Structure 1
Amino acid sequence: MAKKRSALPAACALGLLALLPFAAGVYYAYDGYSLNARTALRWLLPYLATIVAFIGGVQWGRMLSAGRASGLDMTLAVVPAIVAWGALLTAAPWRAVLLIVALLAAWLIDEHGARRGWQSRGFLQLRRLLTLIVTLCVAAIAWRVTGG
């Protein structure tokens, strides 16, 4: 029987690749024209909402594959995606704030998942790093939009 290989290296590579639009957004926001920051947020925030929904799907998959899918945990995994969807229906600046709240809530659910046994520690460390970088990028762009 073949030894099971960890998916963590691929997850790390893909997670870093997923950061490219955020890095590009920060660059675009600070390239000299403040109007570009609004444009960067306009195309990054729907991407962030998509990421939050994707994280919920990953959480469900991990719960189900670990055989530890309580109704409460599955419900918690859906809440950030619903918040993210609602955020897309709001006006600035609440859209960015709510999307960051949804991202941070999804991360906290992953932290909860590590305690419940359906989230691995290695994946959790990756999530912490990606969440921090995305939050900082969106905050930097939002700061530029507000004239900072």
Structure 2
Amino acid sequence: MPNKRSPLSLAVVLGLAALVPFAVGVYVAWTGTSLDARSALRWLLPYLATVVAFIGGVQWGRMLAQRSAAPLDMALAVTPALIAWGALLTAAPWRGLLLLFALIAAWLIDEHGARQGWQKRGFLQLRRVLTLAVALCVIAMGWRVVRG
């Protein structure tokens, strides 16, 4: 008999796996390995932009699955990915700040989605934890760059 896992439990495992590059980035930034914090941020921030774009795709999928996607909600779901793309075209420190803003905006859109009924509460709790963990990792790395 196949092992049946709930989609949410699988999302928890995969979400934690997605945190690995951020944890590695913090480790690299604070341990003084061959890469410095600035270099670690340089390779991590495009990953963060990818994560933000992925979140928008998840939001669209949930809205479309509900078959009641409001045009404003669909536009909101795309906005963080556009901010993230723009962030990649800017220089430090704006790149990191804009990407953090995009991540938080994507989370707030998920909060809005829960109120609109297209985002599930269990998934929203996972998003809160993952968003906080990612934001703290990026802030820790940025702090290391600023403070040396």
Q: How does 1:128-139 map to 2 (within 5 A)?
A: 128-139=128-139
Alignment root-mean-square deviation, CA: 1.6
Q: What TM-score does the superposition give when structure 1 sets the normalisation length?
A: 0.94
Post-superposition offset of 1:32 = 2.5
Q: Distance in 1 between the 2:94 and 2:34 partners? A: 19
Match of 1:77 in 2: 77
Match of 2:98 in 1: 98
The 3-state SS of whatever aligns with 2:91 is coil
Question: Between Structure 1 and Structure 2, how many residues are aligned?
Answer: 145
The one-letter code sitting in structure 1 at the alignment partner of 2:136 is: L
Stretches of structure 1 that go unaligned for 5 or more consecutive residues are none
Post-superposition offset of 1:147 = 1.4
Match of 1:147 in 2: 147
Overall identity of the aligned pairs, in %: 72
Match of 2:65 in 1: 65
* Alpha-carbon contact 2:28-2:35 (below 8 Å) kept: no
Post-superposition offset of 1:34 = 9.6
Match of 1:41 in 2: 41
Q: What TM-score does the superposition give when structure 2 sets the normalisation length?
A: 0.94
Structure 1 consecutive aligned stretches of length 4 or more whose deviation exceeds 4 Å: none
The 3-state SS of whatever aligns with 1:118 is coil
